[in-house]
Amino acid sequence: MIDIKEATIRGRSIIEDGRVFNIDRSKYMNASEAGGCIRKQWYDKHEPKLRAPEDLGYAWRGQAGEHYMIESLLQANVPLAIHGEQHSIADDETRIAATPDDVITYDDEWIPLEIKTIDPRTNRRNLPRDAHVTQLKIAMALVDQYHDNPGIKRGLLVYMDASNFNDIVQFEIEFDAGILERLAPRARKILNTKKVDNLDREGKANGDCKYCPFTEACGVDVADTKTKSGRGNKGTSLDASAGVYIELKESIAEMKATQDVVKEDLKRELKRRKTNEITVGGIEVKLTETAGRASLDKKAAKKAGIDLSPFESVGAPGERLDVNRVT
């Protein structure tokens, strides 16, 4: 007797494996991933073979919902540019790409669409989700940049109940002209970082590790991931100070990532020109070799029977402040 479930999943997997995008998605930070854990994105780009088997039924559910809505909008004479076809738009300068669900093309305004299906038990007070807003903003910026259009001022983020496709809510998202430039350092960090150990486990802060297919490869303790904290202090001076601190922290991290990329570019250019020193625009650029730092291998000393503890000293106690996003 045929196993309908097994055959359905196997057949759908064959269909999905045959999907072809018009760009090489491994060379860009894709909009649908931009709001997720940076380590998950790194594994997707650099070590996809380490992905653990996962049930992708929820993703296929999303495709079915999207098809239903696009087909219905077309029959209602809503002018759509893409008609539900998978067409990605990529920006080689920022290395960011998006695959819009569709674009409403009025004569005086274009309105990109992002369509999501949600579980009927979803708390709608938590909508729209930040990652979805970011995804739509990226798509809006790319459509505006690479298509001749009368102007994009907003996009529509649409949620439909997976148990009732006619239960639909929508959110109007304003156009964000600077989002590609702000996210470019993150994209370069994902694509250029050689070792995943140099990236933060962002999923631990928001609980995403529990659903990540790279948990084993990443070596994260899922039981130790945090849950969302309350908002009892929202609006207080503590809330304001924490907000300023985290924004500065993230800005510094992005600037450092950009600096690292530019640093490697400068080194490659000096080597290409076969020189260690050059002055350009009143700025001196010099590349020199440095001696390796001497270090004491305490494990080797202990193994050799040498007790170093009499020579150890303990400094004065200090304080450490950890400030991280949890939502």
pLDDT for 79 equals 96
Higher pLDDT, 128 or 289: 128
Residue 316 lies in a domain: no
pLDDT tens-digit readout, 169-202:
999 999 999 999 999 999 999 999 998 988 888 8
Residue 312 lies in a domain: no
pTM: 0.66
Cβ neighbourhood burial of 189 (10 Å; 0-12, 13-18, 19+): buried
Q: Residue 229 — very low, low, confident or very high, per pLDDT cuts 50/70/90?
A: very low
pLDDT for 228 equals 46
Residue 319 lies in a domain: no
Domain that holds residue 22: 4-179+189-224
Report the candidate in 130, 115, 114 with the shortest Cα–Cα distance to residue 228: 130
pLDDT tens-digit readout, 30-56:
999 898 899 999 999 999 999 887 777
Token pair listed for 33: 């991933």
pLDDT for 326 equals 62
164 forms beta bridges with 161
Residue 235 backbone zone (phi > 0: left; psi -120 to 50: alpha; other: beta): left
* Edge-to-edge strand ranges of the sheet holding 102-105: 102-105, 110-118, 154-161, 164-174
117 forms beta bridges with 160
Rounded Cα–Cα distance for residues 149 and 79 (Å): 14
DSSP 163-175: TEEEEEEEEEEE-
State the Cα torsion 43-49-51-53 to the nearest 10°. 170
What's the distance, CA 283 to chain centroid? 35
* Helix, strand, or coil (residue 100): coil
Residue 26 lies in a domain: yes
CATH of residue 125: 3.90.320.10
Residue 253 lies in a domain: no
> Worst-scoring range by mean pLDDT, 49-63, 137-151, 230-244?
230-244
Determine which helix (DSSP H) or strand (DSSP E) holds 241, and give its type and residue range. helix 237-272
Residue 164 lies in a domain: yes
pLDDT for 224 equals 59
Residue 261 lies in a domain: no
Contact predicate 58/222, CB 8 Å: no
Contact predicate 28/95, CB 8 Å: yes
Within 81-222, residue ranges assigned H as helices are 130-146, 179-192, 202-206, 215-218
Helix, strand, coil shares of the chain as percentages rounded to 5? 45, 15, 40
What's the distance, CA 154 to chain centroid? 22
> Worst-scoring range by mean pLDDT, 74-78, 162-166, 267-271?
267-271
- Residue 239 pLDDT > 70, yes or no? no
Tell me how long the chain is: 327
User: Residue 327, Cβ neighbours under 10 Å: how many?
Assistant: 10
How many structural domains compose the chain? 1
* Helix, strand, or coil (residue 94): coil
The beta-strand segments (E) located in 64-109 are 89-91, 96-98, 102-105
* Mean pLDDT for the stretch of residues 279-303: 83
Residue 263 lies in a domain: no
